[in-house]
Structure 1
Amino acid sequence: MREIVVISGKGGTGKTTVSAAFAHLAENKVICDLDVDAPDLHILLDPKARETHAFVSGHKAEIRHDACLSCGKCAALCAFDAISLNNDGYAVDPLRCEGCGVCAHLCPAKAIDFEEQHCGDWQISDTRFGPMVHALLFPGQENSGKLVSLLKSEARSLAKAQGLDTVLCDGSPGVGCPVISSLSGASLAVGVVEPTPSGRHDFQRVADLCRHFRVPLAVIINKADLNEKEADAMAEECAQRGDALLGRLPFDPVVTRAMVARKALTEFDNPVGNRLKDMWSALQNLNVRR
């Protein structure tokens, strides 16, 4: 089974547009949206939920006032200043609480509950391109890397159960924890980059991350005609690093029209969609481990 993850050094580079096109073109695959903080692949693929599950992770402290002695030990021990005294007694600020559990374990009255948190929901859905695994964290919740790992595990299990040979993932932007989880066990990363000085910096960071985890990287330069000098510099860097350059995409309003129509660019005839078809064919010819 091969696992392809589409990533970018930042948001807004066209990663999901590329992912939707590849999801349309790929055969025998499970689609997986790993951008759990702000997913948007579902906008183009219109998934119909088959299963919905709660994502439970981490803990938060909550003081039971009926049992609290108002000794203040919890507030004194809290390293995050999450516990303060108000008119009703001591209380935990859920936005400051880091879930370390010190207050609950050392409260002399055992008056602090330390429950697991319902941080979001994940789903297995059906789309016109095949099965899809995706999720959404609630606002302000953490553990996105753990949720990404869960989605990848579920996608692999689903592919194995249905005899599918590809897991195609729309990864998270940036180079943080969810991206590291996205790359774990991947056969190939496809980096979508923009030809600007900051875009080249982002590209270098994500390329270094792939190299660190020994994940082969193939690159697509999006909106390449807006800054051909930077696009050429990126292509040269790909050659120097040994990364495959799948090709360049032009800036074209057809991308916006496809988004409005909630279609992948490859679902109708247009120059950008045709280039994406060529890039997918080029990707098939890469020596991708399984």
Structure 2
Amino acid sequence: MQLVIASGKGGVGKSTVTASLLYLLKDEYRFVAVDADADAPNLDLLLGVERWEEERELIGAKVARINTESCIRCGICQERCPYDCIKVIDGDYVVSELTCEGCNVCGLVCPVPGTITLEEVRSGVVRKTTTRYGFPLISAQLDVGRPNSGKLVTEEKEWAKKLMGELGLEHMIVDSAAGIGCQVIASIGGADLTILVAEPTPASLSDVQRAYKVVQHFRQPAYLIINKADLNPGFTALREWAEAEGIPILGEIPYDRAIPRSMSMLKPFVEAFPDSKAADAMREIAEKVREEILR
């Protein structure tokens, strides 16, 4: 089974929930974990990863290059660049790689053929390690200013599928990025189901509704975990929405200072503070995941 944990909104505790769920399931199931937030990966921090065993570069982005020897310095490329990424440095026209989108407008308007070309550059890196808990983790890091975060996630999942075949693993558990962009689409596409994590606030409700639409697009079942459930006791709209949509609620995790403390310790909160209220709630959620999803 390929299981995705998503949220729509950042900061609701999706990765901390994922890390603790992985910890609670590790002794009963053989799985590979995937951190599909290529812009800001953090699952490795929550699992205490210290080194990566293998890294692979993804070459896919394109940036413009200006040949200063054949450039006649007419300035047309700078005038037409839609991203304002061409600057004059010491009399030469130079492309800023951090802001170039590889659209090739500059190459099309340049009056000297062959002066401006598009070159492929690295988009980021995909990496693998075995966590101290015994299960493999695949993560990615997008380079600054580069596109193709969705491609990085796709590469992660392909690597994870290969590992599943090689190691005889049963499941892939994917920690998705926030939002509904290409990373999230790449995460949810091809999965069997999605667990949504939200907090009882209007902003989180709005964003989890958007994420749920992506899940619906792929015709997947969805479940909901309410994190920081007692943070806003008068807000009932999140539960009402889930009930109206027929989304089962796996459980509610109370606000607990043990969670940020465990993050500073680089451990899942169920390991760092097993007697905390949040850990009790998380164990109940893990039991429901076993009974209703991974049975």
**TM-score over 0.5 for the pair:** yes
1:234 to partner: Cα distance: 1.7
- Cα contact 2:97–2:145 (8 A) shared by 1: no
Q: Which amino acid aligns with 2:140?
A: A
Aligned residues, how many? 287
Q: 2:48 aligns with which of 42, 46, 61?
A: 46
1:254–1:89 distance in 2 versus 1, CA, 3 Å: closer
* Partner residue in 2 for 1:114: 118
Letter in 2 for 1:256: P
Structure 2 vs 1, CA of residues 186 and 66 (structure 1 numbering), >3 Å: closer, same or farther? Answer: same
Q: Which residue of 2 aligns with 1:233?
A: 237
Q: Identity, % of aligned pairs?
A: 37
Cα offsets for 1:44-77 (capped at 9, x unmatched): 2133311111122210011121232335554465
2:199 match: 194
1:8 CA drift (Å): 0.9
Q: What is residue 149 of structure 1 aligned with on the other side?
A: 154
Structure 1 residue 282: Cα displacement? 0.8
Partner of 2:180: 175
Deviations 1:154-189 (A, max 9, x none): 111111211101101111011122111111111111
Corresponding residue for 1:89? 92
Residue among 283, 288, 295 paired with 1:282 = 288
**Letter paired with 2:265:** A
Alignment of 1:1-290 (within 5 A): 2-26=1-25, 27-47=29-49, 48-72=51-75, 74-75=77-78, 78-83=81-86, 87-104=90-107, 107=110, 108-129=112-133, 130-230=135-235, 232-267=236-271, 268-270=273-275, 271-286=277-292
Deviation at 1:87, TM superposition (A): 4.2
Partner of 2:45, secondary structure, is: helix
| C-alpha distance in 2 between matches for 1:37 and 1:135 | 8
- What is the SS of the residue equivalent to 1:30? strand
- My pick for the range that moved more, 81-90 or 137-146, is 81-90
CA distance in 2, matches of 1:161, 1:206: 32
Question: 1:78-130 CA deviation, whole Å, 9 max, x = no partner?
Answer: 44444455542333233442202344467534122421111222101110231
Distance verdict in 2 for CA 1:68–1:194, change over 3 Å: same
Q: Go from structure 1 to structure 2 and tell me whether the alpha carbon gap of 1:161 and 1:105 turns closer, same or farther (over 3 Å shift).
A: farther
Structure 1 portions without partners, runs of 5+ = none
Root mean square deviation of aligned Cα: 2.1
Asked whether the equivalents of residues 69 and 109 of structure 1 are also in contact (C-alpha less than 8 Å), the reply is: no
> What is the CA–CA distance in structure 1 between the aligned matches of 2:87 and 2:253, rounded to whole Å?
55
Q: State the one-letter code of the partner of 2:54.
A: E
Give, in whole Å, the separation in 1 of the partners of 2:100 and 2:226: 42
Q: Which amino acid aligns with 2:261?
A: R
Counterpart CA distance in 2 for 1:106 and 1:158 is 47
Q: Distance in 1 between matches of 2:54 and 2:279?
A: 32
Runs of at least 5 residues in structure 2 that lack an aligned partner in the other structure: none
**Contact map agreement 1:67 1:109 (CA 8 A) in 2:** no
Rounded to whole Å, the distance in 1 between the matches of 2:42 and 2:166 is: 26
Q: TM-score, normalised by structure 2?
A: 0.89
Q: Give the Cα–Cα distance (whole angstroms) in 2 for the partners of residues 143 and 233 of structure 1.
A: 36
AA at the equivalent of 1:25: L
